[in-house]
Structure 1
Amino acid sequence: MRILYVGDAACLPEDLADYIGDMGDEWKVETVSDGNSAMFAVSNTTVDVIIVGPSLPDLAPPVLLGQIRTLRPETIRIALLQATEMGSTPSIRLIGVAHRLLPLPLASETVLEAIHSLEELRDLLDSPRLRRAIGRVEHLPSPPHLYFALTRALEEDEGNSGDIAQLVSGDPAIAAKVLQLCNSAFFSNGRAITDLRGAVTRLGLATLRDLVLASEVFSMKTGSNVDRAALQQRALLASRLAARILPRTSAELGATAALLADVGLLLPGVRDERQPLDPDGEPDERPGHTEAGAYLMGLWGLPMPIVEAVAFHRQPQRSSLRTFWVPGAVHVATALAGNEPVDEDYLKSLGVLNQLPAWREMAGLMSERIAEDAA
């Protein structure tokens, strides 16, 4: 395992070399001070993990990680953030190119846990069995084009509410569906929204983007017999819950991940992991819908925090994160939205079990409001 650190070496834990040494002779850490030196190193030899400091003298960290992604897509990419940055939303560009964001000061255990967790996720998504199973799907859904167009507009800080509304209105079917969802019990405050510009103004760009995503994803033609209306309703409820559970700086990631958590059910030939296996029956070789959904999200190039939350939301303890973040919030939100058990041992290990009653009450109030509006 070759690990390359880029930036000021003072950001690295002093005992990291000792920890890596205990892993065996095949584990090595090398350091370079700038982005161009990193690109030279990656171009000339295999690098398994690249860790980029919060600032570099020549390249912005998102630019370097984006170049690494193009040159060596298999390399695990980790970005370090100053403690002050963790209280604000990391740039969309950085979230889009880094597999994991780690706060400074950094502990050696945190580095190794992140690497092992991402290796496991990479192995899951690169599983030959999963590739064969997904490969049997004749037509994989294409990436939702309008969602990614809105994402690019947000990344580049371009366009006002009118411009965004015009972009959505270019697809009349999606625009109609978005307006329908805007006026649903999930988002309506009693006043009807009749135009897309009004939707942008009331909901904000991030929420509108997720509504576009829901409209595109749950309209995909995949040959699956799943009840799409029920699946979408659960997904929207889980999305709203996850956004409320997480702090504002992570709410957007959590909302999108929860919205997509069960998207694997839309693929034919997958096993619904909500249904128990028959212990006396034949082994079921079909891939589970969580890993199939995560695989699809990976193919679409969605940010790794979303892919990881989709992959592990039914087994959140498989994530090595030792803090309650997107995977945990998506687990709680999807479980409550689907009336399924919440992994209380997992929440206890993270010190947030005491918040579960409040989250249950929140989910109950949202469900009651939806039921009242539907009556």
Structure 2
Amino acid sequence: MRIVIAGENAERAAEFGALLADFGLDWQIDWLPAGAPVEPAMPAFDVFVCGLRPGPIGGPELLARVAALYPQAVRILLLDQSPNEASVDIAQGLDGAHRVLGRPLDPAELVEAVESVIDLRQLLDNEALKRLLGRINSLPPPPRLYLQLTRLLRDPDANNAAIAQALSQDPAIAAKVLRLCNSAYFSGGREISDMRSAVVRLGHQALLRMVLTIEAFGGLKLGSGKAREEMQDRALRASNLARKLLPGPSAELAATASLLSEVGKLLPGVASAESEEEGPNYAEAGAYLMGLWGLPMPLVEAVAYQRRPSQLRSGGFWVTGAVHVATALVAGEEPDEDYLRSVGMLDKLPQWREMVEPSALDEVA
């Protein structure tokens, strides 16, 4: 396996080589100097690692270039422990990365990250899942407006008026945004009746999650409006909880992944988590669907492993762990205590239980 690390300290090459040898891995590591481009003529590589600003060429641009030229390569983004970068740069980097690691890069974490992504690909590349989705005549469409707004919010010149205008292009979604904006989840006391005020009240990230919820569940075929409302209620509550369990940009990833944790139930013939022997369960099917939509790999991974986070090779508590805890607690289930103990977070479980919001449907009833 060949790994290319861009813009980092090449003086650590010997250290990396020795530590990788300790793992019994015959991996080759090449260090790409700061400012060097990714070219089609480069020797093929399996893993690409860079920070947000590895040189004159930004990290998000490098990752996008790698995705286009070497689509099978695992792409890893490095962030400082206390990042001071613009949120737009972070969002672009997260979209192009399979995994996120802290700087300075730790060889052991690199090994875990690469093997975890490989495991995920193998999990989703199973014949039963492919056969199931192949029998479905019409898969749920990608969240078009969510993806459009995501691109718009990366524009530093975008303002709330432009965002409101984009929302207003879809009257059905705009009406649902206004309805949810005035619901028990988001209401600030004064009724909101126009899109620009809704954007201001919600904030950009909450607005993105709301639009994603509406689009993802809009085509839900569950037989009754009540079932759809219950699933949307769980999604919103889990999202609100998950974003409180992680710091920084990771909080928004956890919130978004939690919104989509049950999206696999959109697909007919998907087994419940309790009957996995009957076929692919909703977590794997949902992750596969999100991959088809082109959503970021950390979201796909979190949804895929939400029921069994201990199967991840990563030793820390990140997006998947937060989604696991949030979705379990909102569903009235117990999180995997052995997993939480292994990542040093079990003592936080009583506090997290207290943070679960009551269902808005119960309040209405």
TM-score of the superposed pair, with normalisation by structure 1: 0.89
Report the AA paired with residue 346 of structure 1.
Y
2:34–2:56 CA contact under 8 A, matched in 1 = yes
1:11–1:106 CA contact under 8 A, matched in 2 = no
Task: Please tell me whether residue 131 in structure 1 is matched to residue 156 in structure 2.
Answer: no
The equivalent of 1:71 in structure 2 is: 69
In structure 1, C-alpha distance between the alignment counterparts of 2:313 and 2:223, rounded to whole Å: 34
Structure 1 residue 224, shift from structure 2 partner: 5.4
Structure 1 residue 351, shift from structure 2 partner: 1.5
Structure 1 residue 105, shift from structure 2 partner: 2.0
Structure 1 residue 141, shift from structure 2 partner: 1.6
Secondary structure of 1:85's partner?
coil
Structure 1 residue 251, shift from structure 2 partner: 2.2
Task: Please tell me whether residue 272 in structure 1 is matched to residue 272 in structure 2.
Answer: yes
The equivalent of 1:299 in structure 2 is: 292
User: What does 1:36-47 correspond to in 2, within 5 Å?
Assistant: 36=36, 38-40=38-40, 43-47=41-45
In structure 2, C-alpha distance between the alignment counterparts of 1:109 and 1:201, rounded to whole Å: 43
Q: Deviations over 1:354-374 (max 9, x none)?
A: 1111111111xx216x25631
The structure-2 alpha-carbon separation of the partners of 1:12 and 1:178, relative to structure 1 and needing over 3 Å to count, comes to farther
Task: Please tell me whether residue 342 in structure 1 is matched to residue 335 in structure 2.
Answer: yes
Q: Which moved more, 1:18-27 or 1:202-211?
A: 18-27
The equivalent of 1:280 in structure 2 is: none
The equivalent of 2:364 in structure 1 is: 374
Q: Deviations over 1:302-332 (max 9, x none)?
A: 1111111111111111223332221111111
Report the AA paired with residue 194 of structure 1.
S
The equivalent of 2:111 in structure 1 is: 112
The structure-2 alpha-carbon separation of the partners of 1:33 and 1:125, relative to structure 1 and needing over 3 Å to count, comes to same
Select which of 50, 53, 70 maps to 1:52: 50
In structure 1, C-alpha distance between the alignment counterparts of 2:257 and 2:53, rounded to whole Å: 28
Secondary structure of 1:153's partner?
helix
Alignment length, in residue pairs? 362
The structure-2 alpha-carbon separation of the partners of 1:152 and 1:37, relative to structure 1 and needing over 3 Å to count, comes to closer
Moved over 6 A (4+): none
The equivalent of 1:83 in structure 2 is: 81
1:239–1:333 CA contact under 8 A, matched in 2 = yes
The equivalent of 2:231 in structure 1 is: 231
Structure 1 residue 244, shift from structure 2 partner: 2.1
The equivalent of 2:243 in structure 1 is: 243
In structure 1, C-alpha distance between the alignment counterparts of 2:66 and 2:235, rounded to whole Å: 34
1:11–1:104 CA contact under 8 A, matched in 2 = no
Q: Which runs of 5 or more residues in structure 1 are unaligned?
A: 278-282
Task: Please tell me whether residue 308 in structure 1 is matched to residue 301 in structure 2.
Answer: yes
Secondary structure of 1:51's partner?
strand
Structure 1 residue 87, shift from structure 2 partner: 9.1
2:233–2:361 CA contact under 8 A, matched in 1 = no
Structure 1 residue 24, shift from structure 2 partner: 5.7
The equivalent of 1:183 in structure 2 is: 182
2:37–2:57 CA contact under 8 A, matched in 1 = no
Select which of 354, 358, 361 maps to 2:354: 361
Secondary structure of 1:173's partner?
helix
RMSD: 2.3
Secondary structure of 1:91's partner?
helix
Q: Which moved more, 1:31-40 or 1:255-264?
A: 31-40
Structure 1 residue 125, shift from structure 2 partner: 2.4
Structure 1 residue 206, shift from structure 2 partner: 1.1
Q: Deviations over 1:242-281 (max 9, x none)?
A: 12222243222111110001100111121111x346xxxx
Structure 1 residue 108, shift from structure 2 partner: 1.5
In structure 1, C-alpha distance between the alignment counterparts of 2:205 and 2:93, rounded to whole Å: 17
Q: Deviations over 1:145-198 (max 9, x none)?
A: 111111011112342222211211111111111111112222123332222211
Q: Which moved more, 1:246-255 or 1:235-244?
A: 246-255
In structure 2, C-alpha distance between the alignment counterparts of 1:127 and 1:294, rounded to whole Å: 13
1:20–1:29 CA contact under 8 A, matched in 2 = no
Report the AA paired with residue 57 of structure 2.
L
Report the AA paired with residue 58 of structure 2.
A
Q: Which moved more, 1:180-189 or 1:168-177?
A: 180-189
In structure 2, C-alpha distance between the alignment counterparts of 1:207 and 1:53, rounded to whole Å: 27
Report % sequence identity: 45
The structure-2 alpha-carbon separation of the partners of 1:345 and 1:206, relative to structure 1 and needing over 3 Å to count, comes to same
Task: Please tell me whether residue 326 in structure 1 is matched to residue 325 in structure 2.
Answer: no
1:5–1:52 CA contact under 8 A, matched in 2 = yes
Report the AA paired with residue 107 of structure 1.
D
The equivalent of 2:154 in structure 1 is: 155
2:90–2:249 CA contact under 8 A, matched in 1 = no
The equivalent of 1:317 in structure 2 is: 310
Structure 1 residue 102, shift from structure 2 partner: 1.2
Q: Deviations over 1:11-67 (max 9, x none)?
A: 746432123335667532222214545425xx4543111112453334111111101
Task: Please tell me whether residue 30 in structure 1 is matched to residue 34 in structure 2.
Answer: no
In structure 2, C-alpha distance between the alignment counterparts of 1:256 and 1:24, rounded to whole Å: 37
In structure 2, C-alpha distance between the alignment counterparts of 1:373 and 1:224, rounded to whole Å: 23
Secondary structure of 2:358's partner?
helix
In structure 1, C-alpha distance between the alignment counterparts of 2:16 and 2:48, rounded to whole Å: 15
Secondary structure of 2:3's partner?
strand
In structure 2, C-alpha distance between the alignment counterparts of 1:318 and 1:196, rounded to whole Å: 43
Report the AA paired with residue 309 of structure 1.
A
User: What does 1:250-265 correspond to in 2, within 5 Å?
Assistant: 250-265=250-265
